[in-house]
Amino acid sequence: MDIAYIIIWSVLILYFLIMIPIQYSCISSMKELQKESNLTHNERFEKMTFEEEQLHYHLQSNFFTLPSNIIAMLIYKIRHRKEKVF
Distance CA 70, CA 24 (A): 10
User: Is residue 8 a part of any domain in this protein?
Assistant: no
Name which residue leads in pLDDT, 73 or 54: 73
When pLDDT is averaged across residues 72-77 and rounded to a whole number, the result is: 93
Domain range for 71: 20-36+50-80
Which of 16, 27, 21 is CA-nearest to residue 63? 16
Task: Judge whether 25 lies within some domain.
Answer: yes
Find out whether 44 and 34 touch, Cβ atoms under 8 Å.
Answer: yes
Identify whether 32 is part of a domain: yes
Q: Count structural domains, the chain.
A: 1
* pLDDT per position as a tens digit, 36-64: 888 877 888 788 888 888 887 777 777 88
In this prediction, residue 64 carries a pLDDT of 82
Report yes or no on 12 lying in a domain: no
Predicted local confidence at residue 29, as pLDDT:
86
Mean pLDDT of the chain: 85
Tell me, yes or no, whether 66 lies in a domain.
yes
Q: Which helix (H) or strand (E) holds 14?
A: helix 2-37
